[in-house]
């Protein structure tokens, strides 16, 4: 039988004279592990499982004949390393690989050659496994911003791509209130400078100096202007710094996004804030530029984090930003917390910046976050509740001057920004030759659409750390999938059909965003909208190699075809008409605590009746209120 089998396969030898295509390999997809072809592994060893009771399973001579067959098909030699406890065979393949252009091609050829034997149940590369790194920091479980599947930035998988010291060799300048001593930041700080020229605001008595320690930014009532209430020290810079570089896997506190990087603290905010002139100088200096009267920065930053802002046009900021950019630094800035268009907030409204909006754990734009067409990306910033829905980071317990270290939850675009700055540091580490514009493009092209609602514009979406590092050169040779879908509508309902494809693998997951806050992970979902209109619907597909692609289409639904029109309190709907025995449907969202709810119809000709039901559509036999007077004057009071 072994000889006959060898003869059967001999005629197919010419089929493998060239590299097997991905499409050809799919013919054997149920028996070979194509998912393992990532380009990260040296696929010269394979685990071959023969069917039980097959000659190859029980006879070494039969296995050797099969090895010779694979050699004749691939031109590479095959030898047995050992038989595993499961009965599978570990083999090593070497030799003629010149005709393959990629290691993946060679591995695919070998697996297909083995799979052409019907006695082979399964074959896969002998992959190298790694512990999936999750820090043991005390509060890591509270860092939803890094780990949550909906609202987080997918850090654990990104750390596996970043190496043992994510961000190593990259400096991030934090232009803020300075830094306080904190054990979770020990060894994470390098250099720094105090750029506050007003000694009263600086509270250190001597204006600009090399000490970037945060002296506290508290102030009394009316001290910063009429009507300003008193405020305790914020230790804002310490909180921002922790998000970027807090030590990881040290059995305490939190984990920073780029805990292998270093932060250069640049103090620009003191009592009552900071001046544009000081901040402009600090931007130039932080990026490695020269500032008169200030020693040269021996730790120039590739990333500048500005979790600060104010009203007005960009103005003087632009020149400093341009200098930083020419020095090779990327400028990441908070969009602002006024729930207004970012065009009114500087320096977020400047050119050549990465302006960052804030999102919540549900993946929606935070209610306070600024928005607009010039937002570049979004990142976790918290919901403003003051608790676990916000961002946990390093802090200080002092109400005025520094006291003991602690941790606390803060919210704001200030908290969202360091997530993006730290990710930019990881991208620079992965590929140091990238320009600021290229890093920006990676952040935007790999961001994922917000799972929740965003009115006004939230940029490319929530930054995705894993996808960004893969794009920066994480070692994956995976070809991204192509997202595509079609749809049909009926009234307010839409039915979606996924037609996405992946040339070198399979679609592993789908994420639909229906444009009204609704979402789904189904393959072919349906969705009913609350009101007629045009909605921007997006489908993001992720393949088995981790690459993603997004397709967006406009979907228009109307109140006809059995749908319903959403009523607004006190706003009459006019021009109604229907055929005999026809129905017009309406819905209304009633706020909690409302009283004296009343529905009224009037005018026109004919005879219409009114039916109302709470929580579901009424019928002529199921309702909470019915008014069926002669004519069209009907009233239902709830």
- Residues catalogued as catalytic: 176, 236, 414
Cα torsion 148, 151, 155, 156 to 10°: value is 20
Strand partners, 90: 47, 82
Helix 2-10, helix 60-74: angle, nearest 10: 10
Extract the tokens encoding 378: 């979004």
- Cα–Cα dist 450/633, whole Å: 46
Cβ atoms of 509 and 521 within 8 Å: the answer is yes
8 Å CB contact between 301 and 264? yes
Other beta carbons less than 10 A from residue 573's beta carbon: 13
Q: Which of these, 235, 238, 331, lies nearest to 280 by C-alpha position?
A: 331
- CB environment 174-197: b (16+ within 10 A), e (fewer): bbbbbbbebebbeebbebbbbbbb
Please report, for residues 270, 462, 517, the alpha-carbon distance to residue 451 in angstroms, rounded to integers and kept in the order given: 37, 9, 7
Nearest to residue 375, comparing CAs of 322, 447, 439, 435? 447
What residue spans of 203-355 are helical by DSSP H? 236-245, 276-286, 317-326
Q: Distance between CA 593 and CA 378 in Å, rounded? A: 34
Contact 346, 315 (CB under 8 A): yes
| End-to-end Cα distance, the chain | 84
| Residue whose pair of structure tokens reads 């979004």 in the numeric block | 378
CA angle 338, 344, 350 (to 5 degrees): 120
- The 3-state DSSP class for residue 242 equals helix
Structure tokens at 605: 């000709």
Q: Tell me the β-bridge partners of 497.
A: 486
214 membership: H or E segment, kind and range: none
* C-alpha span between 564 and 611 (Å, rounded): 14
Instruction: Decide: 90 and 82 in contact? Cβ < 8 Å.
Output: yes
Helix/strand/coil for 331: strand
Residues 500 and 488: their CA atoms lie apart, in Å, by: 17
The span from the CA of 276 to the CA of 44, in Å, is 59
Q: Is 623:611 a contact under the CB 8 Å cutoff? A: yes
Distance (Å) of CA 307 to CA 51, 237, 240, 600: 61, 9, 8, 52
Measured distance CA(539)–CA(520) in Å, rounded: 9
Bond prior to 97 in cis (omega within 30° of 0): no
């Amino acid at each position: 039988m072994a000889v006959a089998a060898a003869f059967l396969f001999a005629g197919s030898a010419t089929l493998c004279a060239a590299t097997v295509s991905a499409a050809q390999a799919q013919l054997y997809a149920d028996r070979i592990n194509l998912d393992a072809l990532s380009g990260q592994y040296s696929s010269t060893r394979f685990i071959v499982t023969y069917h039980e009771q097959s000659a190859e399973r029980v006879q070494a001579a039969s296995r050797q004949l099969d090895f010779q067959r694979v050699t004749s098909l691939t031109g590479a030699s095959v030898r047995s390393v050992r038989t595993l406890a499961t009965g599978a065979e570990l083999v090593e393949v070497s030799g003629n690989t010149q005709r393959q252009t990629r290691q993946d091609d060679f591995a695919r050829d070998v697996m297909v050659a083995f799979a052409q034997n019907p006695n082979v149940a399964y074959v896969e590369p002998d992959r190298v496994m790694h512990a999936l790194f999750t820090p043991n920091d005390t509060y890591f479980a509270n860092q939803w911003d890094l780990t949550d599947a909906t609202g987080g930035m997918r850090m654990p998988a990104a750390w596996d791509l970043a190496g043992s010291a994510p961000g190593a060799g990259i400096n991030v300048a934090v232009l803020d209130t300075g830094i306080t001593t904190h054990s979770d930041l020990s060894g994470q700080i390098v250099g720094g400078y105090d750029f506050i020229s007003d000694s009263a605001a600086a509270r250190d008595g001597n204006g600009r100096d090399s000490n970037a320690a945060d002296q506290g930014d508290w102030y009394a009532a009316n001290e910063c202007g009429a009507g300003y209430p008193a405020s305790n020290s914020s230790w804002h810079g310490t909180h921002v710094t922790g998000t970027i570089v807090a030590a990881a896997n040290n059995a305490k506190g939190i984990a920073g996004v780029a805990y292998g990087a270093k932060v250069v603290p640049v103090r620009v905010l003191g009592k009552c804030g900071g001046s544009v002139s000081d901040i402009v100088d600090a931007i130039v200096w932080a990026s490695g530029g020269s500032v008169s009267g200030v020693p040269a920065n021996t730790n120039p930053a590739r990333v500048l984090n500005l979790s600060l802002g104010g009203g007005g046009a960009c103005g003087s900021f632009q020149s400093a930003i341009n200098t930083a950019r020419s020095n090779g630094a990327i400028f990441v800035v908070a969009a602002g917390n006024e729930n207004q268009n970012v065009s009114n907030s500087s320096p977020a409204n400047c050119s050549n910046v990465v302006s960052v909006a804030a999102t919540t754990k549900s993946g929606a734009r935070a209610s306070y976050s600024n928005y607009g067409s010039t937002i570049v990306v979004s990142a976790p910033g918290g919901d403003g509740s003051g608790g676990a829905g916000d961002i946990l980071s390093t802090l200080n317990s002092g109400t005025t001057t520094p006291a003991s270290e602690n941790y606390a939850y803060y919210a704001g675009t200030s908290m969202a920004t360091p997530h993006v700055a730290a990710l930019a540091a990881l991208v620079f580490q992965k590929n140091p030759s990238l320009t600021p514009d290229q890093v920006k493009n990676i952040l935007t092209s790999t961001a994922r659409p917000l799972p929740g609602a965003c009115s006004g514009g939230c940029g490319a979406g929530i930054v995705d750390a894993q996808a960004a590092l893969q794009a920066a050169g994480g070692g994956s040779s995976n070809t991204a999938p192509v997202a595509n879908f079609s749809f049909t509508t009926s009234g307010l309902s839409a039915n979606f059909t996924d037609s996405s494809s992946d040339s070198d693998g399979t679609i592993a997951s789908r994420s639909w965003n229906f444009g009204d806050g609704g979402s789904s992970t189904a393959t072919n979902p349906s969705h009913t909208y609350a009101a007629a209109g045009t909605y921007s619907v997006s489908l993001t597909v992720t393949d088995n190699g981790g690459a993603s692609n997004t397709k967006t289409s406009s979907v228009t639904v109307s109140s006809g075809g059995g749908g319903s029109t959403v009523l607004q309190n006190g706003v009459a709907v006019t021009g109604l008409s229907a055929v005999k025995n026809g129905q017009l449907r309406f819905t209304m969202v009633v706020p909690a605590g409302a009283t004296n709810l009343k529905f009224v119809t009037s005018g026109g000709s004919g005879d219409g009746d009114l039916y109302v039901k709470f929580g579901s559509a009424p019928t002529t036999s199921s309702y909470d209120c019915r008014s069926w007077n002669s004519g069209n004057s009907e009233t239902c009071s709830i």
